[in-house]
Amino acid sequence: MKKWQTYLILVFIMLIWGFNVPALKTLVSEFTPVTITSLRIFTAGITVFIILGLMGKVRKPTAKELLFITSGGLLNVVSHHYFLSVGLTGTSSTNGGLILGTGPLLTALMATIILRNRPTVIKVIGFLSGSVGVTIIVLSGGEGIGGLKMGDLFIFISIFSQALSFIIISHAAKTLDPRLLTGYMLVFGSVVLFIISLFTEPGGLRQLGDASASIWVLFFASAILATAVGHMIYNHSIGKIGAAETSIFLNLNTFFSLVGASIFLGETVTYYHLIGLVFIVLGVVCGSGTLEELVTRKKQKRYVERKRLGHN
- Residue 77 in domain: yes
Residue 11 has a pLDDT of: 81
Residue 144 has a pLDDT of: 43
Residue type, 25: K
- Residue 312 in domain: no
Work out the pLDDT band at 247, boundaries 50, 70, 90: low
Work out the pLDDT band at 216, boundaries 50, 70, 90: very high
Q: Is the confidence at residue 97, as pLDDT, over 80?
A: no
Predicted TM-score (pTM) of the model is 0.74
99-151 pLDDT per residue, tens? 777 776 777 777 777 766 666 788 778 777 877 776 776 666 544 444 557 88
Query: Residue 171 sits in which domain range?
Result: 3-287
The mean of the pLDDT values for the chain is 81
Buried b (16+ CB within 10 A) or exposed e, 80-94: bbbbbbbbbebbbbb
Beta strands in 32-100, from DSSP E residues, in sequence order? none
- Residue 57 in domain: yes
C-alpha span between 166 and 116 (Å, rounded): 16
Q: Is the confidence at residue 243, as pLDDT, over 70?
A: no
Across 280-303, average pLDDT? 75
Measured CA to CA in angstroms, residue 124 lies from 19, 97, 293 at distances of: 31, 24, 15
- Residue 305 in domain: no
Q: Is the confidence at residue 235, as pLDDT, over 80?
A: no
The vertex-264 CA angle with 258 and 266, nearest 5°, equals: 75
Across 196-212, average pLDDT? 87
- Residue 300 in domain: no
**Comparing C-alpha atoms, which of 249, 90, 93, 72 is closest to residue 162?**
72
DSSP count for the chain of H helices, then E strands: 15, 2
For residues 141 and 88, the model is more confident at: 88
CB neighbours of 76 closer than 8 A, spacing ≥ 6? 161, 162, 165, 166, 168, 169, 185, 189
Count how many domains the chain has: 1
Q: Is the confidence at residue 54, as pLDDT, over 90?
A: yes
- Residue 306 in domain: no
- Residue 18 in domain: yes
Beta strands in the chain, from DSSP E residues, in sequence order? 140-141, 144-145
C-alpha span between 92 and 155 (Å, rounded): 11
C-alpha span between 161 and 233 (Å, rounded): 19
Return the percentage of the chain with pLDDT > 70, whole number.
86
Spatial contact of 19 and 258, defined as CB atoms under 8 Å apart: no
Measured CA to CA in angstroms, residue 146 lies from 18, 117, 133, 200 at distances of: 25, 37, 15, 30
- Residue 49 in domain: yes
The secondary structure of the chain in percent helix, strand, coil, rounded to multiples of 5, reads 80, 0, 15
Give the count of beta carbons closer than 10 Å to the beta carbon of residue 155: 29
Spatial contact of 87 and 154, defined as CB atoms under 8 Å apart: yes
C-alpha span between 29 and 87 (Å, rounded): 11
